[in-house]
Structure formats: structure tokens, C-alpha cells
A and B are shown apart, each in its own frame.
Chain A
């Protein structure tokens, strides 16, 4: 970000504190041009009072009003059942903000104050996945949206509905000098349109009402994605005219797109007749019903299931869960059905990151592949998150969860009694393999049990011990540590909440907080495994947690590095035979170490650490969880192995 050399009084944030400055500018002496010397404050020679200016009667323009366009916007937002709106305050939506607070009484929606727009948008992503509906994000039209951009990209990749509203000043003659020009745009959504599903800039309040409902409907129709409305400041702020003429459209009850019945029947036939069918699910289960249906399908077939974890699709301890031995089961597969896979090709291929990049299938020749998902219904061209093309045999366009009932029924029709013994035998083998895998996992977790720094196996075992009898929810697992999804018993959809989607670092802390916000009313114990590098992108997340009393336990995965990148640099140094002694440059967070407990305490969050002795971990977790159960956030700074 470029250096802002302007007077502090006209910087964006400071501008908000003194909104009257624009009006005062008409009578104040002009600011010196940038680069011109300013007179020292102490030597300032105040101008004599300008009596003519101070005594002339004010213009007859109105100075108060009894309603605003923002009030109507609040009515619309209330009709959409928003519980929260995350904001970082900004002048371009001051009209709507004031209406939410006073006209709307700051309830449904309630404003959640964030210290960065990336936090606001990431919270929305985590919240929507957990709660099954969006919250609103209010951002400044230019600089605020620029801050939010990476988080919106994550949400787009993650197929999550995020409902963004930004402020703008459309009419040039209505813009005050300096800031309002710099913070206005012809087409403010342009910079993020590559990763929006839809956007609009309403020209009237009726237009707003219709676009607001349309945006909600589109965001919530699979494939779900962020949407954006750019709201003209005058539309928000000026008096509301003829309220009775304005109509708020009702939000239609929408159904999820389901795969075509004949195609699902064909897929069912393949599955029923297969020797070794495999189901792979990624962003499939939107609700508990989706998870239950996948269990029903797998049990009907007694087949292997691989849960890629974009959502919690399948119980982690289910005997048919073969996620930990994905390569092994895929090597045996003769039919693979992928449910809402974003990277089908990647699931079926090995890829080497070497001088010569090579790929090889992990499945046997002749495997039949079927995809069920909504990816083909909506995609964009520029960003390449759609991954490499997989030439499946049958591509069924339809929502994975919504298509499961018809697929299950078709499978049950196909799976006649003659096949049942073979299914049962297959299921028993898979169950035995699952049990052996879990046993091996426990042995692996015990390796280095007493070592310091703490191993990830020990940390996850200690954390599981403290939460397993609670109604827990792992709302963040920044770098995808595999232990929880394999070692813990996650049998409900909300036990895990996926990942960032676009691998944009900085998601985990605020995304987890958004999910914890959703969990609060359900009384769930929210826990996040939090990377140190990730938290440093948006440490202000902790203040929001404290300010809004959002109960969440952050357990730091503090390896004092951007560790994946450190390993990449080591890899390059090894390839070039130059030694790895400099691999720490630009990749580590040392000298000084970050004292995350002090950082958290500074934001008003209960914290302990650094904890490097594994024997101290259990008692510290007990204390921190007690704080969280009292409705407060807590953080444990645990010093752990890199991976």
C-alpha cells in the first residue's frame, strides 16, 4: 500500500471522526498542496475572525430529516433475516450504518465491529458455512473493498455465499473534495467481479429492494458464491420519499438443483454393479441431512468413502471412512463417484513437484468416473480455481446433497439380494482396514509424546481429551492438520468447518470467529487450531472476539515460521545445490519471537503461553475451556513442531 502523505486529518479513518470537515472546507483556508512546506503549528498565525462569513444567515437548505433511504434499506435487510452485519466503519455507508443502529435498533441485523475488511469478509465465510445462511458485510466502496478482496476470493473458491454491501457516491457534483473523490468509483465492483456471482449498483430504493432480494437468492442457489451491492450514499442518506410506494419483494422459497433422474439411475447402476466403488465428497454436505444421506448411500453399497473435508461429509469414525487410505482404495476402484469435487483430476492423479513435472493416474485403467455437482452450472474464466480438466465418463449437473435421495433410491433398486453378500464382505474388509488405520494413527500420535516443542499428534490428542464430551466444533484448522479429522470422532456436520477455499492465508482466525459466532446461539464449544503466520495477517480478529463476547478457543500452532514456504525454499536450495543455510530468510517469525499470549491479552482476550512442555498442555486447556464456557474467547500460545 502506498504511503499516505496527506494530513492525518483527511485520511480515511480520521475523516470519519470529523465528518464535518467537508462542510467546513468551504470556509476554511485551503490546505497546502502536497509537498509544499507547512507552517509549523507553534508558529501559526491565526487568521482574524472573518465576520462576514460568521454573520451571514445560513442558506435555507434543510438540516434535519425524519427518515432516510437507509431506513428502507434496513427494512429490506430485515426481510432477508440477516442476523449480523460485519463492518469496518466508513463514510460511504454512514447513512445505512446510522439507520441500522437507530432505526433498526441494531438487532437482526446486529453490527459486528471488525478492524479490517478482510476480517469482516472472512467472518462471513466461516459463519455461512456453519449457519447455512449468509451474514452481511459492509465495506467502504474502494479501499475497503480492496482490503476485503482476498477474503472474497477465498469465499468464491469455497462456494460460500457472502453478501457484501459497499458505499459509493455516484453523482460527481455531490462528492466533497479530496477523500470522497478518491473513494468513489464508476464501477467499484469491477476489481472483484471475477470472483462474484452477481453485483449491482441500484439507482433507486425500489431498485435496491429488488436487487437486494435477487442478490440473496442468487448467492444461496448452488453453486453458492459472494454477491455485492454498491449503494449510493445519497440513496442511503437522503429523506425517504413515498415509502408506501416502495415494495419489498418476498424471498422466494427456492429448491436446490437436482441431477437428472435418468443420469442418476445410470450412476446408480455403475455403483451397484461395481466390484469396488469409491465415493469422494468435498463441498457436498450443506446440512446434516447431506451427511446422513451419504452415510445411507455408503452403507447401502458397503463402499469406501473419501471425505476431502471441504465440508464435513462423512463421520470420521465410520468404518467405511477410508480418507486416511485414499490412495489405496482409489487404486482398487473400478467406479468412482465424485460429489461436489472441485479438483476431481487432483483426486485421481499423483503429481510431482520436480524439475520435470509429471503426473500419473492413481486409479487403474478403465475405471468409470462420475461427477455430481454444480460446478458446470457457473464458472468464470480468469482465475483458475476450477482446476485441471478431468474427463469423467458421466458428468451430472446438480447439487450433490439434493441429488443424493434419488441416487440412493436408484442404488437400492439396483442392489438386489444377490449382490448383498458381496457388499457385506466388502464392507467387513473396509471396516477392518479402518480399524487398523485408527490403531496405527494412535501409535503415530504417540511418537515423540514427551518431546518439546509439542508434536501435533500430542497437541491434538490433548485437545480431543478435553473436548470430546462437549458439543464441540473445530471451527478452524488453518493448514489442514490431519489429526483431528482422523483421530477425533466427528459425527455431525458442524464438527469441522472446512477450509479457506482459495488457500489465501489470513482466513483461519476470522473465518473461525465467524463460525464461532454462529455456534454461540447453539451453545457449541468452538475451538480453532490457529497458525501463527495466519494470525499475523489479521490479529485484530481477537479484539472483535473480545468486544462481542464470542466464545472461542484458539490453540496456536506456533511454529514460528511461514513453514510451508520455508520448506519450499529448502526444496529450491536443494535443487540448486546451494545449501539451505539461508532458507530462514523471509520465511521465519523469529528475532523476536511473537508473544501471542501478550498480543491476545492486549486485545482483551484470556491467554496463556508460550507453552512448550507437553505436560503443561492439558491443565492449560482445562483453564482456557472454562473461560470459553463462560462466554469469552481464549488463546493458548503453544509452541509446536512445524508439522
Chain B
């Protein structure tokens, strides 16, 4: 039986990124390109520090006080993603920099962007058509 925890101290969590953020983010006019992050380390942090508790290990989405949206290949620009962590607009906890350094945010973002995005309807597993 595999151990799904790393046994490492949890330093941060990235919890419910609200679906409502998507609309807000689309209106963000000034977006800097995402800094280059380390997706491998981002995965480590994402799993070790409990982001998956609400959003799932592969960013497939989950729930906390309502739906926690899928964030694999999040369409949020990096700045909006970081803003949501620092000053969330909904029930998602706030993650101050003392808990979650900018470097960790960058790496997590890179990990999320490295994940497969949603499948096309034509590519769904057969048992999902019923």
C-alpha cells in the first residue's frame, strides 16, 4: 500500500480557487508573463503541503465549503493566480508570503500548467457516455 503523504512538514496549502475568479481574471488588463517555475518542485510542494486536500492531487477539483474548481492548466494568468492566494475573493484561506513564498507560488503554477487539461468530449472513457 502506498503512502500518499510525503511525511514532510506541510508549509502551505492552496485551497479553493473559486470559479468566480475565472471571470474576474479575464478582466485583468495587465498581466505579466508567468515567471519560469520548477514544475517538479511545484508538484512536491503541491503534494507535500496539502494543496491537493481541496483541489485534488492532479488538480482535478474537489470541495471545501462549496466546489473547489479544477486547477490543472488553470486559465488564470499567473498574477491573478497569485492574487487569489494572497487575497482570496471567497472562502479560500488567505496565504500570506510568510507561509507561502513567491518562489513556491511560481513552482506550483508551473506544476499546474504541466498537467493535462480537460479531455475533449470525443476522448472520454467509454463508461462515461451512459
- A610 beta carbon closer than 8 Å to chain B: yes
C-alpha spacing A315/B2, complex, angstroms:
40
Find A448's partner among B1, B56, B68, B99 (CB 8 Å cutoff).
Answer: B56
Contact call B128/A445, Cβ cutoff below 8 A: yes
> CB-CB < 8 A to A575: which residues of B?
93-94
Q: Are the CB atoms of A352 and B118 closer together than 8 Å?
A: no
Name the distance in Å between A393's Cβ and chain B's nearest Cβ.
27
Chain B contact residues, majority secondary structure: loop
Smallest distance from the beta carbon of B17 to chain A beta carbons, Å? 13
Tell me which of B53, B56, B98, B121 contacts A567 (CB under 8 A). Answer: B53
Known: A439-B121, A443-B119, A593-B1. A580 touches B127 (CB 8 A): no
| Most chain A beta carbons < 10 A, residue from B53, B61, B68 | B53
Shortest CB-to-CB span from A330 to chain B, Å, is 14
Does B130 lie within 8 Å of A465, measured CB to CB?
yes
C-alpha gap A575/B15 in the complex (Å): 12
Q: B50 near A: Cβ within 8 Å?
A: yes
A447/B58 in contact, CB under 8 A:
yes
Interface size on A, residues (CB 8 A): 50
A353 partner residues in chain B, CB cutoff 8 A: 65, 91
Binds B, one of A425-433, A453-461, A622-630: A453-461
At the interface, yes or no: A563 with Cβ under 8 Å from chain B? yes
Residues of A within 8 Å of B58, CB to CB, are 447-448, 451, 455
The interface residues of chain B lying within 8 Å CB-to-CB of A453 are 4, 57
Contact of A444 with B11 in the complex, beta carbons under 8 Å:
no
B91: chain A residues at CB < 8 Å are: 352-354
Q: Is the CB of B61 within 8 A of A447?
A: yes
Q: Is the CB of B53 within 8 A of A563?
A: yes
A353–B94 Cα gap in the complex (Å)?
12
Contact indicator A574/B2 (Cβ below 8 Å) = no
Q: Mark A577-592, 1 if CB is under 8 A from B, else 0.
A: 1111111100000100
B124 CB–A CB distance under 8 Å = yes
Q: Is the beta-carbon distance between A468 and B128 smaller than 8 angstroms?
A: no
B57: which A residues are within 8 A, CB to CB?
448, 451, 453, 641
Residues 100-128 of B, flagged 1 when their CB comes within 8 A of A and 0 if not, give: 00000000000000000011010111011
A608→B63 CA distance, assembly (Å)? 28
Asked if residues A571 and B93 are in contact (CB atoms below 8 Å), the reply is: yes
* Cα A453 to Cα B2 with chains together (Å): 9
A580 and B70 contact, CB distance less than 8 A? no
Closest residue of chain B to A618, judged by CB?
A: B127
Q: Is B60 an interface residue (CB 8 A)?
A: yes
CA–CA, A577 and B96, complex, Å: 7
A455 and B50 contact, Cβ closer than 8 Å, known pairs A577-B98, A580-B13: no
A643-B118 in contact (CB<8A): no
User: Known contacts A567-B53, A579-B11; is A452 also within 8 Å of B93 by CB?
Assistant: no
Chain A nearest CB, measured from B119 CB (Å): 5
- The CA-CA distance from A642 to B93 in the complex, in Å, is 18
Give the docked Cα–Cα distance between A639 and B3 (Å): 11
| Complex contact B130–A571 (CB within 8 A) | no
| Bound form: Cα–Cα A593–B2 in Å | 11
With A583-B10, A593-B1 given, is the CB distance from A641 to B119 under 8 Å? Answer: no
Nearest CB in chain B: distance from A479 CB, A: 9
Question: How far, in whole Å, are A445 and B72 apart by their CA atoms in the complex?
Answer: 13
With A447-B60, A570-B15 already in contact, 7 other A-B pairs whose C-beta atoms are closer than 8 Å: A443-B119, A451-B60, A489-B130, A574-B13, A574-B93, A579-B9, A612-B2
Chain B contact residues, CB within 8 Å of chain A:
1-2, 4-5, 9-13, 15, 49-50, 52-54, 56-65, 68, 70, 72, 90-91, 93-96, 98-99, 118-119, 121, 123-125, 127-130
Q: Show 27 A/B contacts (Cβ-Cβ < 8 Å), sorted by A.
A: A439-B121, A442-B124, A447-B58, A447-B70, A447-B72, A447-B118, A448-B59, A451-B60, A453-B4, A461-B128, A464-B130, A465-B130, A482-B63, A566-B53, A567-B15, A567-B53, A567-B64, A570-B13, A570-B93, A571-B64, A573-B93, A574-B13, A574-B95, A579-B9, A579-B11, A580-B13, A583-B13
The 6 A-B pairs with the shortest beta carbon distances in the complex, nearest first, are A574-B93, A643-B62, A447-B60, A581-B9, A448-B60, A448-B58
